[in-house]
Structure 1
Amino acid sequence: MNLNSNVTVVIPCYNDGLYIMEALHSILNQTIKADKIIIVDDGSDEETKKVLEKISHDNVSIIYQENQGVCKARNNAINLAQTDYILNLDADDYFEPTFIEKALEVLNNNDRIAAVGCWVKILKNKTLEKEIKKPSGGTITNFILMNNGIASSMFRKKCWEMVSGYDEEMTNGYEDWEFWIAILKQNFEMKILEEPLFIYRVKSNSRDQHALKRYDFDLRKYIFLKHKELYQEHFDFFALELLRKNSIFRANENKIKRSIDFRIGNLILSPIRFFKQKRKK
């Protein structure tokens, strides 16, 4: 076992007893081993705790906390880490075996790179989808309008220290996006390995989907106000990108309206609308 990889892997776990062992084994089976793996139980149910209690490995530690959210869980674990590099992994996802090796090569050879992610395979209903998610990474302008990274990336602990960790006020999501913005505006970059080395599991009750459906505007507003000086500095870029996105949205909307399925749907619904209007009169 390589004890000098200089990597600590942080795995927050909340009621993920069904998946935590797959996540853990994906780290234990890396071609270059992590110095330390810290699993943070964020107030899970008894079934998950039973699974965690069975884990016994020399470089795996489990810490327990009351349910305080993923930001608090990550910050608590990273604060304990004694390595220069941190790798995030959610308990229901997993990595291919070469991720740590390839991410380390990038970080060890370029001081301007703050974080390394990769392309993403999507696991839905126990099946890997054909489409690969390809975030671009890059500099701060790549993150002003959208998150062009992934939460499960390897980053420098000193960058986490520079921005005072994850924002623990962001309990409803998008905390990784805000984290990357805070780091990258310090003149750093994120590198994306152009290989699908990370597997993201889609669940019906996922936190990401919940954030998108219920809190998207509020979270974007929070990020905007927190980093308002950044958006003011790049105002022209930000405004033009918004206009471009709006044009794409309107073009797609018109395309849908012109589609055969849409027109057939309108024909089917038109009698119903007619009788509704009659009843109102």
Structure 2
Amino acid sequence: MSAKSNVTVIIPCYNDGLYIMQALNSVLKQTVKADKIIIVDDGSNQETKKVLENIKNDEVTIIYQENQGVCKARNNAIQLAKTDYILNLDADDYFEPTFLEKAIDILNHNQEIAVVGCLVKTLTNNRIDREIKKPLGGVVKDFIVKNNGIASSLFRKQCWEQVSGYDENMKNGYEDWEFWIAILKHNWKMHIIQEPLYTYRMKLYSRDKNAKENFDYDLRKYIFFKHIEVYKEHFEFYATELLRQNSIMKSIKNANNSIEYKIGNRILGFIKLFKINGK
């Protein structure tokens, strides 16, 4: 590979033998080649291991670990990277060929930008959905209510070092959301390329879906307290936005029984208590 890109691609893989080759090929076919690709097998099943063992490419390094989660997998791989830029890619998703070329150019010419993502296509039952997901990116204030980025983005390794890597306590999800807040609160920005250059695969079971359905409140609370100074600085914005979202949910038929509405009420109750106690 050409060393000019200054990029290492990190692909954690856990039981994604059906999809890993599509993800890998989307990196190999980039118009600007990465310096190195590191696949981390996070304790996958034998079917996936067989797929990985058949990858014979000098541009690809495969490391194996017992199942320790995506944060540990990413941190272990990023530690090995010798480039200034890191690109995350989930093993069941893929990029369009021009993503790296466009993202590298943005980081090279904008020193205030730490992270570059893009608009997102979704793949459901092997069909591309019509709706395009449009994360906003921006500054840390834009991330305190919801994640306005995507996990598979290009970022500066110095930012990973600055925040001591991914938080390995976040085993149940939302680790990328917390990672972006940790970076952006140091006065960095995230840029979103206004093209759908990334495809996210919707599956019947996914870590993202499990996080939202089973751990949403606890994960949000963890992020809140870990970055409490950010939430204090933007408290009125945060509380007002939660009130607005809860009001919208209340106006929707049967919303009072939805998970989102119940979680929203729990968070608002917590916010009110936080404000009253003056913490």
Q: Say yes or no: TM over 0.5.
A: yes
Equivalents in 2 of 1:216, 1:253: separation in Å? 22
Write the letter of the residue equivalent to 1:144.
I
The 5-angstrom pairing of residues 137-152 of structure 1 reads 137-152=137-152
**In structure 1, how many angstroms separate the alpha carbons of the residues matched to 2:252 and 2:104?**
41
Whole-angstrom CA distance in 2 between matches of 1:249 and 1:109: 42
1:91-102 paired onto structure 2 within 5 Å:
91-102=91-102
Shift of 1:247: 2.1
Map Cα deviations across residues 113-137 of structure 1 (whole Å, 9 max, x no partner).
0000000000011111000000000
Q: Which residue of 2 aligns with 1:17?
A: 17
**Distance (whole Å) between structure 2 residues aligned to residue 108 and residue 159 of structure 1:** 15
Q: What is the SS of the residue equivalent to 1:239?
A: helix
1:133 is paired with a residue whose SS is coil
Match of 2:45 in 1: 45
Rounded to whole Å, the distance in 1 between the matches of 2:59 and 2:197 is: 23
Opposite residue 184 of structure 1, the aligned amino acid is L
> Partners in 2 of 1:140 and 1:228 — Cα distance?
12
- 2:247 match: 247
Unaligned runs of 5+ in 1: 258-281
Compute the displacement of 1:59 (Å).
1.4
Report 1:240-279 matches (<5 A). Answer: 240-253=240-253
Residue identity in the other structure for 1:233: E
Distance 1:236 1:18 in 2: 46
The alpha-carbon deviation at position 163 of structure 1 amounts to 0.2
Q: Following the alignment from structure 2 to structure 1, what is the Cα–Cα distance between the partners of residues 140 and 132?
A: 23
Q: Deviations over 1:129-161 (max 9, x none)?
A: 000000000001110100000000000000000
Distance, in Å, in 2 between the alignment partners of 1:138 and 1:119 is 14
Which is worse superposed, 54-63 or 240-249? Answer: 240-249
**Aligned-partner residue type, residue 23 of structure 2:** A
Residue of structure 2 in register with 1:279 after alignment: none
> How far did residue 236 of structure 1 move?
1.1
Aligned to 2:77: 77
Structure of greater Rg: 1
Structure 2 match to 1:221: 221
Deviation track 1:170-225 (CA, whole Å, cap 9, x = no partner) reads 00000000000000000000000000000000111100001011000010011011
CA offset at residue 245 of structure 1?
Answer: 1.4
Counterpart CA distance in 1 for 2:215 and 2:161 is: 27
Could you report, residue by residue, the CA deviation over 1:37-79 in whole angstroms, capped at 9, with x for unpaired residues? Answer: 0000000000100000010111110000000000000000000
Which residue in 2 is equivalent to 1:262?
none
| Pairwise CA distance, 1:248 | 1.9
Counterparts of 1:154 and 1:185, CA distance in 2: 18
Partner AA of 1:78 in structure 2: I
The letter for the 1-side match of 2:193 is L
Aligned to 1:10, what secondary structure does the other structure show? Answer: strand
CA distance in 2, matches of 1:72, 1:204: 25
Q: Give the drift of 1:35.
A: 0.1
- 2:197 — aligned with what? 197
CA shift, 1:238, in A, is 1.0
TM-score of the superposition, structure 2-length normalised? 0.90
| Structure 1 segment 33-182 matched on structure 2, within 5 A | 33-182=33-182
Q: State the distance in 1 between where 2:30 and 2:144 align.
A: 33
How far, CA to CA, are the matches of 1:84 and 1:253 in structure 2?
50
The letter for the 2-side match of 1:114 is: A
How far apart are the structure 1 equivalents of 2:231 and 2:185? 11
Please give the root-mean-square deviation of Cα atoms over the aligned residues, in Å. Answer: 1.2
Which residue number in structure 2 is paired with residue 236 of structure 1?
236
> TM-score of the superposition, structure 1-length normalised?
0.89
SS of residue in 2 equivalent to 1:236: helix
Q: Structure 2 CA distance, aligned partners of 1:253 and 1:89? A: 38
Which consecutive segments of 4 or more residues in structure 1 shift more than 6 A? none
